[in-house]
Structure 1
Amino acid sequence: MNKQFSLFRHPWEATGSGDARSLQNAMGKTSLDLWNVLVRESLQNSYDARIEDSIGFAIADTELSESETSILVNEIFAELPPEGASTKLRQMPSKGRIRVLTISDYGTRGLGGPLRANIAPGENERSDFVDFIRNFGRSQSKGLEGGTYGLGKGVLFQASRIGVCLVYSQTQTPSGIDYRLIGVSGGDGDYVDNGYKYTGRNWWGVLADDAVIDPMTGTDAREMAMSVGFPVPAMGESGTSIMVVAPELFNLSEEDILIDSRIRALRDAAIRWAWPLAIDDGNGPKVKFQFSLDGVNLKDIHPLDEPLVRHFAQSYVDWLQYKKDPGTFFSPFVKIYPVRSLKPVKRLGSLVMRVSMEAHGDAKELQNHVALLRKPRMVVKYLPVTAPPSEHAAHSVFIADDLVDPDFASSEPVTHDDWIVQTNSKRGTANFVRIALKRISDIFKDLHTADPAATAAVMSTGATKIAAELGGLVGQFSGTGAASTETSPSQGSIPTGRSGGSRRATARLTAPPKLTMIRDRPHVEFRFHVNGGQKDTAMQLTASPQIVTDGGSIDTDFSTEDPLNLPEFVGWRRQGEAEILTSSKVIFATPTEEIFTAIFTQPLNVAVKVAALVEEVNS
């Protein structure tokens, strides 16, 4: 058998075929960009191929050396078809070096099974190699796993400017580890050459005696893979690496300004869609991610520290703890709702709602969204929901129950990025996807239906409360949200001395109270607009807390209260300044037009209101 790489161009069969571009078109339309789809599809395939409960997953953006580039271009892809994007391969190297994007998994079973698509797999044998390398589409026998080498693999060819990938796999066989290396292209349309039609699909490998291309196998394949820079698994281990040759530019059109734009976009995609798999549940993360640029690793992914998803990740951690111990006490910021169908009675999943207070560095893009999850615990999509009836944001997670996972899986398009209600409908059966999505929507809408008994303590304008009886929601605020309190002469307002009227210094509450976290403790901020006053007069502004009782009255006598339930004054902050002034009063000269924020600690289950006083500084 000839061990040199040869090209095989796929001819149209006499009985009909499909061109290579159909593989990409079959993915359908998606709102996601190339890099998000690439990470989702490749990771799903890798995780589906896991041997144990966890895998390693790495993407490397690398410029090959001159010798590696020469072997790739002049030995493996020495032959090129007469038409198609792959004919531009030799134009891709710059100064003798070509850039590649290599996607690798470890702790996976590799691409095993028969080498030919017309050979049936043996008992307990899978057909992963032919499903990924040769076949178009996916057999129904593969089930409803996330990837399973179906139509979504077309994104790999889209990610290459020339539609070419080189695939290396180590897979376990009864006789030991088998090594396989083959080149594939799938980004071209069909064409005619010498009166014969070709589909545009091409393979590069070892030409067999029957004129069919097979992968290079054995240690020759491993040595050839290493010679072009593949990060191969250890000799006795299995796994797969896919080298996207000449990857698309980050913005798909112009030269990239920053060389790291592409790999950072891929890392960001993993954070956005795969953060549940990166959470350490006590046994380590399900996926150990690694992203690198020319041999330098990017920062590891820790979902609880990532601004975009950290609140979602914490909601998921709360759910994991709830599964272990349903009696776990959670803070009033967290509420766990069972989501059920009534006809028939069936648990569809759990909704974890976490109302977050704004912290420095938090991303706002996904506020008031629900991350929809099913097996293998990747985010299907972020569902926008009605915001809580306060200025605080909810970051929620819905986890579909494993028993109804097939219902949710069957509702997904090829790209697995949505739950489409219509595709889950079967006459005479309950549509669990429709029911679950409606239940989720209703839960958030119901937050706006106030219960007078439950909200009696916040009926005074300007009051805040963190209350467990409000379903874990923070900072309920009734009224217009912009009511003001204005000082009267008896409260220290200063007349201007002008005839026919007076100009007083006033302090007006300009917005609802804002709950925030300072040193991991809830605080509340009251924003006052201070203006007016007599010329060249020194004034001072003070603020004192008040407690709103269950009946809605104001309590200023704290002598009988538990000190732990009392708000404490922290300080003032001037607009535009980060520093908190710890003095009980802030001094300013009039006339003035300024914004001052009073900051207090916010006890649980206590509604807090504030009274502001403007008065002249005593000489």
Structure 2
Amino acid sequence: MARHLTEAELERALSPVREHFFGASVTVNTVLSAHLRAAGLHPSGQTWQMAKYAIDQDGSFENAVAMAGGTSPTTTHADPLTEPVDEVDLTDPADVQIEHVDVYQEIPRAALQTSARERMPTPPLGSDARLQWFPKQFSVGDIDGDGASRLLGTPDLAPVSVLVRETAQNSWDARERGQRLEFTMNLRQLTDSELDVLRERVFLEDAGPLPVASSLDGSPVWALEVSDRGAKGLGGPVRNDLTPPPGEPTNFRDLILTIGTPRDVHLGGGTYGFGKTISYTTSELGTVLFWSRTRTEGGLQHRIIGSAFGSSYDMDGLRYTGRHWWGVIPDDGIRVEPLVGESARVLGENLFERHFEAEETGTSLLILAPVLGGDDREEDAHALVESCLWHLWPKLVKPTSTREHMEISVQLNGVPIPLPDIGTHPILSAFADALSAVRRSQGEDAPEPDLHTEVVPVEMQRPRLTLGHLAITRFPKVEWDAGAREVVPLNEPVSNVALMRHDAELLVKFLSLPKLDSPTLQWCAVFKPLEGTDDAFAMSEPPSHDDWVAEAVKDKAQRQIVNVAMRRIRELVEQALAPAVTEGPEPTSGSSVVALADSLGPLMGPVGGSAPGRRGTTPRGPGAPRQAKVRVSEYLLGALKDGRRRVAVRCHLEAPGATTLEAEVRVGVEGGAAEIDDAARPIGWVRGRPDLDSDTLAISKEGPRLEPGDEIWFLAEVESELLAVVDVRPAREEK
């Protein structure tokens, strides 16, 4: 390992590549990233791994770049790709080979060239296009600014993930019906002209102990611009001390002036107010600018205002809460209002990169000096991408004809970073299939799931009430890379239920439940309540909307709904996954992996991240007649012979009467299973545990007729290094 590089050595190493440096602090990683960019290399994936290996050997950035670029370094090191590795014992389940899938998103190089970024022309600023500072004095009942900023609580999620969830939820709840909703997060470096406008028109001085003005003198200054279009914007009254007319929206007042106001949005994402504090807590300065365009009685109106959370302080003999606004202060001097009209439009277009076109309405936030958890802004961008992917994935699933769509974009310096495709994602494609199955069960024209997915109603007995639907599927384990694994809220291997609300379909949480006892399989599920029970779950959410807590619901009947649902979800998952597949003799070196499942065939998901072949759902409702099913409890693998091996599965019949069985064997491919020439073929049926190496087995080619409780073995043959997918089921004429 390399010796520790001192601060002075890092500064010297940074000097020749400073123009390629985007880090928040000078570390080995951020300096190495700058050297790679200067050499035209992207600091991610194998390039990054090679560079990191080299820098760990001798601390030479030159050698690290040379090794990452595929040229000879000035000193010789062992090649991490050719060093001897430990032998893998395939008789140990822990050593079973799992496919590796890379879903890491490359940052377009254009996004890293901040000096070349161009802004669209901005209109000249008039004398009225400026904001005034309004610090809040303490009065009866006021809350300290630090206390207000802690109202979100302490979610288990990374702050960047909470920020993505809360801002997206607010946009979804404010959407205009029938319009395309666009949600964009643009992490960007502020231009010199934007900084001049902020210094001269908004933050003319520091806000008490909050160094908002002096911080703008540093370079570079970054901001996160979060915008929605196709949303209603921050409408309603701009004063918090007057009662609005009945039915008038209060979005501006609730978001900007009030903390903890319940949102009056039926089937919306949740309460609106507490969660907004995350926009401030992810700003190093606690400061956010809001620019909105909304419909009023007088037509479309622009509104712009700044707001901040800071520490309480004393000034000129008076106590201040630490809450600040920048807007227009009326003559009475006791409140603040937004700048509105043409002056607001001009100021907004000089500060925000995304403008309002034609009749567009919506809201943009400018979070100053965002703190998103990365060592540099490229890592921050990856964290935004991964947070959008893992927390907004239901919005990335193909919408139905009756469900509105949300277009999600993440940008670095205005350059879009592609989001991974949900349909081919090695993990989320299985969740997407489960969501499609739930949608179909709840009456939507969703596409038929690609996987064999079981859907069961989640029911309460007293009173008799269907609370929602749970869809469960299994799929092979894969190893995969992501840009920011710390924001991924899943178990590994996956064993989670995605909980979400009925209409909003915004992820509440991934509920962690027991894993499958299998070296090759994992499972996932989705639960959504019905419209009639959705409000109970809304009432159970904390301010961060990341859980369902029944104890938080005051109404006894509503609390019972949440309690019963959470208990039944756990019970139904346990029933669906039991009995676990047990393992026969393990594969020997060079063998393939056999993955099997019970309950009318293999609940198999995507392998390697591609869209799987078609399978249907298995709905099961109350009062439905008991159906025959086959439970697979064990599998065996034979020795490799002439490039092929035998596999066998032990099958038990669970049925109300005698049933004939049939079986199918296919080859596991990326995404599911397929018939590939003669790669996999059936052999037949055997009574009793078979010796797979024997040539004298009493094999029957015809499907056996079994009585309830009987068992039989099915044999097949598959080429080496292939995955055998065996489906044993009641014969079609028996169904």
Instruction: Place the TM-score, normalised by the shorter chain, in its bin.
Output: 0.7 to 0.9
Larger radius of gyration: 1
Q: Distance in 1 between matches of 2:723 and 2:601?
A: 23
Indicate if the aligned counterparts of 2:222 and 2:368 stay in contact, CA closer than 8 A: yes
Q: In the aligned structure 2, how far is the partner of 1:435 from the partner of 1:545?
A: 45
Is contact 1:465–1:604 with CA below 8 Å preserved after alignment? no
Counterpart selection for 1:58 from 170, 184, 191: 184
Does the 8 Å contact 2:598/2:632 carry over to 1?
A: no
Does the CA contact (< 8 Å) of 1:547 and 1:606 recur in 2? Answer: no
Contact 1:3 1:206 in 2 (8 A): no
- Residue from 311, 327, 334 that aligns with 2:430: 311
| Separation in structure 2 between the aligned mates of residue 29 and residue 604 of structure 1, nearest angstrom | 48
Distance 2:454 2:494 in 1: 16
Please state if 1:202 is matched with 2:324.
Answer: yes
Contact residue 516 and residue 523 of structure 1 kept, 8 A: yes
Deviation at 1:322, TM superposition (A): 3.8
Give yes or no for contact 1:57–1:105 (8 Å, CA) kept in 2: yes
Matches within 5 A, 1:160-559: 160-186=283-309, 188-211=310-333, 212-251=335-374, 256-257=375-376, 259-283=377-401, 286-300=405-419, 302-324=421-443, 333-358=452-477, 361=480, 365=492, 367-374=494-501, 375-388=503-516, 390=518, 391-424=520-553, 426-427=555-556, 431-447=560-576, 450=579, 468-469=599-600, 472=603, 478=633, 517-518=668-669, 520-522=671-673, 547-549=684-686, 557=699
Question: Are 2:498 and 2:511, in contact at CA under 8 Å, matched by a contact in 1?
Answer: yes
Cα distance between partner residues in 2 of 1:327 and 1:44 = 23
Find the aligned partners of 1:550 and 1:469 in 2 and give their Cα distance.
Answer: 20
| Residue 165 to residue 459, structure 1, CA distance change in 2 (3 Å) | closer
Task: Quote how far apart the aligned CAs of 1:153 are.
Answer: 0.7
What amino acid is the match of 2:254? Answer: D
Identify the residue that residue 106 of structure 1 maps to in structure 2.
Answer: 229
- The answer for the alignment partner of 1:572 in structure 2 is 720
Structure 2 counterpart SS, 1:207: coil
Measured in 2, the distance between the counterparts of 1:18 and 1:421 equals 28
Please report how far the alpha carbon of residue 552 of structure 1 lies from its aligned counterpart in structure 2 after TM superposition. 6.4
Contact in 1 for aligned 2:430/2:524 (Cα 8 Å): yes
Aligned residue type for 1:605: R
Gaps of 5+ in 2: 1-126, 483-490, 587-593, 606-629, 651-664, 692-696, 705-712
CA distance in 1, matches of 2:159, 2:447: 41
Hey, what's the Cα distance between the residues in 1 that align with 2:350 and 2:449? 55
Give the C-alpha shift of residue 436 in structure 1.
0.8
Give the direction of change, closer, same or farther, for the CA distance of 1:544–1:270 in structure 2 (3 Å limit): closer
- Kindly indicate whether the alpha-carbon contact (under 8 Å) linking 1:279 and 1:286 is maintained by their aligned counterparts in 2: no
Relative to 1, partners in 2 of residues 1:558 and 1:523: Cα closer, same or farther, differing over 3 Å?
A: farther
Deviation at 1:446, TM superposition (A): 2.4
Amino acid at match of 1:317: S
Kindly state the Cα deviation for residue 204 of structure 1 after the two structures are TM-superposed.
1.0
Counting strand residues as a fraction of each chain, which structure ranks higher?
1
**1-side partners of 2:298 and 2:236: how far apart?**
13
Is the 2:458–2:470 contact (alpha carbons within 8 Å) kept by the matching residues of 1? yes
Contact 1:99 1:245 in 2 (8 A): yes
| Separation in structure 1 between the aligned mates of residue 672 and residue 427 of structure 2, nearest angstrom | 21
- What SS does structure 2 have at the residue aligned with 1:122? coil
* Structure 2: distance between partners of 1:396 and 1:287: 23
Identical-pair percentage? 25
- Residues 325, 35 of structure 1: CA spacing in aligned structure 2 closer, same or farther, 3 A cutoff? closer
What RMSD over aligned residues (CA atoms) do the two structures have, in Å?
4.1
Q: TM-score scaled to structure 1, two decimals?
A: 0.75
Q: Secondary structure at 1:9's aligned position in 2?
A: strand
CA contact (8 A) 1:278 1:301 kept: no
Paired amino acid for 2:354: P
Q: Which amino acid is the alignment partner of residue 546 of structure 2?
A: D
Match of 2:254 among 131, 141, 144: 131
| Kept after mapping to 1: 8 A contact 2:169/2:269 | yes
Q: Which residue of 1 aligns with 2:204?
A: 78
Secondary structure of the equivalent of 1:192?
strand
- 2:8 corresponds in structure 1 to none
**TM-score, normalized by length of structure 2?**
0.64
The residue type equivalent to 2:370 in the other structure is P
Distance 1:431 1:90, change over 3 A: same
Note closer, same or farther for the CA distance 1:198–1:600 as it changes in structure 2 (3 Å cut): closer
Change (3 A) 1:550 1:313: farther
C-alpha distance in 2 between matches for 1:240 and 1:140? 17
Provide the C-alpha distance between the structure 2 equivalents of 1:305 and 1:368, rounded to a whole number of angstroms.
19
- AA matched with 1:66: D
Contact 1:371-1:397 at 8 Å conserved across structures: yes
Q: Which amino acid aligns with 1:229?
A: F
Q: Which residue of 1 aligns with 2:95?
A: none
C-alpha separation in 2, matches of 1:312 and 1:2: 52
Name the count of aligned residue pairs.
Answer: 530
When residues 340 and 386 of structure 1 are mapped into structure 2, their CA distance, relative to the original with a 3 A threshold, is: same
CA drift at 1:444:
2.3
Out of 140, 151, 160, the residue aligned to residue 26 of structure 1 is 151
Shift of 1:40: 0.7
- Residue 67 of structure 1 deviates from its aligned partner by 0.9
- Once the two structures are superposed, what CA deviation does each residue of 1:172-230 show, in whole Å capped at 9, x if it has no partner? 011110111111111x1111112110011111122322223321111111111111234
Aligned to 1:528: none
Counterpart secondary structure, 2:507: strand
Residue-by-residue CA offset, 1:344-375 (whole Å, 9 max, x unaligned) = 11111000001113467599736111000114
